[in-house]
């Protein structure tokens, strides 16, 4: 009984969101397109005789062109669109949600930022080769992991330098815009792959832009109550690693202030620090102890544990 009710509710929900025409408008639309189709296939000619102007000839030729095919597609569009949305509910749900939440505007403006400032390839390279869980090779030594990570950072940085001529003021302005986008997506989108994809795209673009900044307010952003500003600080520390922020990064990586995505980003910044800076024995031992303890926390996902293990391997090798 409950299954039948659920099915009826889902059907009613689909019918409420499937875009379509009213019956009268659909009729007018169909008639208009049908007439245009008929006219597009008919090649009608009417000519008078060159000798006797009173004699006229009339001919009709049928010819199907690309215009005809396009009109046929338009004729069936009102039927095909609801059908496609019904067959692909995930597409329907995504489009409906985007319209309701306005996230489509975020995605469009995000793409404009990437294209306008030449950071699209750099952010994509960073996302695929650095951010992506499992990006580093398996069964590598700590030194090999270090070398692999550093090379991938440098490859992505080279793409920024080659394509972008944005100055520091403009770069920081766009980072602030991305931070606002990040907060909007984080607060308004339900958890899931769509939200993760957008946050990953925003954060990777932030990283590409911070390489163009000077005098970045890293501490103020690390202690900010806005997740987007904290994210920009994590990206900056991946660009300019500094030992003095290790304690703050550790608290963000394992604390409850951040969502898993923010924790993962803090760990990325921490990994860059330990692969590029030499920690003193006291700080190294303290960091190792905290990370060992953190890997046993129930709420730590596999991706964050993997990063912690990488960091521990590097620290223990250098100890």
Q: For residue range 95-141, what is the model confidence (pLDDT) as tens digits?
A: 555 555 557 778 888 988 998 898 999 999 999 888 886 666 556 67
Query: Are 273 and 243 in contact, with CB atoms under 8 Å apart?
Result: yes
141: left (phi over 0), alpha (psi -120 to 50) or beta: beta
Q: Residue 218: which of 204, 243, 236 has the closest Cα?
A: 236
Q: Give the residue, 278 or 86, on which the prediction is more confident.
A: 278
pLDDT surpassing 90 at residue 41? no
Q: Is the pLDDT of residue 165 over 90?
A: no
Q: Is the pLDDT of residue 200 over 90?
A: yes
pLDDT, position 24: 63
Higher-confidence residue of 153 and 5: namely: 153
Quickly state the pLDDT bin for 146 (edges 50, 70, 90): confident
14 and 89 Cβ atoms separated by less than 8 Å: yes
State residue 284's pLDDT score.
Answer: 94
Choose among 170, 175, 126, 171: nearest CA to 152: 126
pLDDT at 267: 96
Which residue spans within the chain are E strands per DSSP? 42-48, 56-62
Could you read off the pLDDT of 219-255 as tens digits, one per residue?
999 999 999 999 999 999 999 999 999 999 999 999 8
d(CA 217, CA 240): 12
What's the length of the chain?
A: 319
- Tell me the average pLDDT of the chain: 79
Query: Averaging pLDDT over each range in 5-9, 21-25, 188-192, which range is the top one?
Result: 188-192
Structure token digits, residue 224: 């900010």
Give the span between the Cα atoms of 308 and 295, in whole angstroms: 7
- Please determine, for residue 319, whether its predicted confidence score (pLDDT) is greater than 90: no
User: Whole-angstrom Cα distance, residue 208 to residue 164?
Assistant: 10
Region of residue 271 (left: phi > 0; alpha: psi -120 to 50; beta: else):
alpha
Residue 11's pLDDT band, with cuts at 50, 70 and 90, is very low
């Amino acid at each position: 009984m409950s299954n039948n009710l659920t099915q009826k509710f889902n059907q009613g929900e689909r019918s409420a969101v499937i875009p379509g025409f009213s019956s009268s408008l659909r009729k007018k639309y169909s008639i208009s397109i049908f007439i245009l189709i008929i006219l597009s296939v008919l090649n009608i000619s009417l000519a008078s005789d060159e000798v006797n102007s009173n004699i006229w000839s009339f001919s009709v030729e049928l010819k199907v062109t690309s215009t005809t095919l396009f009109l046929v597609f338009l004729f069936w569009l009102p039927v095909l669109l609801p059908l496609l949305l019904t067959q692909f509910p995930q597409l329907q749900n995504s489009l409906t949600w985007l319209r309701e939440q306005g996230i489509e505007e975020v995605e469009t403006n995000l793409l404009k930022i990437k294209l306008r400032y030449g950071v699209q390839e750099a952010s994509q390279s960073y996302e695929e080769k650095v951010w992506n869980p499992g990006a580093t090779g398996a069964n590598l030594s700590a030194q090999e992991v270090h070398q692999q990570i550093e090379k991938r950072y440098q490859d992505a940085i080279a793409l920024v330098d080659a394509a972008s001529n944005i100055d520091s003021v403009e770069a920081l302005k766009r980072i602030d815009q991305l931070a606002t986008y990040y907060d909007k997506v984080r607060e308004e989108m339900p958890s899931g792959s769509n939200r993760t994809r957008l946050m990953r795209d925003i954060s990777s673009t932030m990283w590409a832009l911070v390489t163009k900044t000077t005098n970045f307010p890293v501490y103020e952003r690390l202690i900010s109550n806005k997740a987007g500003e904290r994210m920009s600080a994590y990206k900056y520390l991946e660009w300019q690693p500094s030992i003095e922020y290790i304690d703050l990064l550790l608290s963000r990586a394992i604390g409850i202030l951040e969502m898993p995505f923010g924790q993962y980003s803090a760990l990325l910044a921490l990994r860059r620090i330990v692969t590029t800076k030499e920690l003193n024995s006291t700080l190294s031992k303290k960091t190792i102890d905290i990370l060992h303890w953190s890997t046993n926390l129930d709420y730590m996902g596999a991706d964050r544990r993997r990063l912690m293990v990488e960091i521990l391997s590097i620290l223990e090798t250098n100890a």
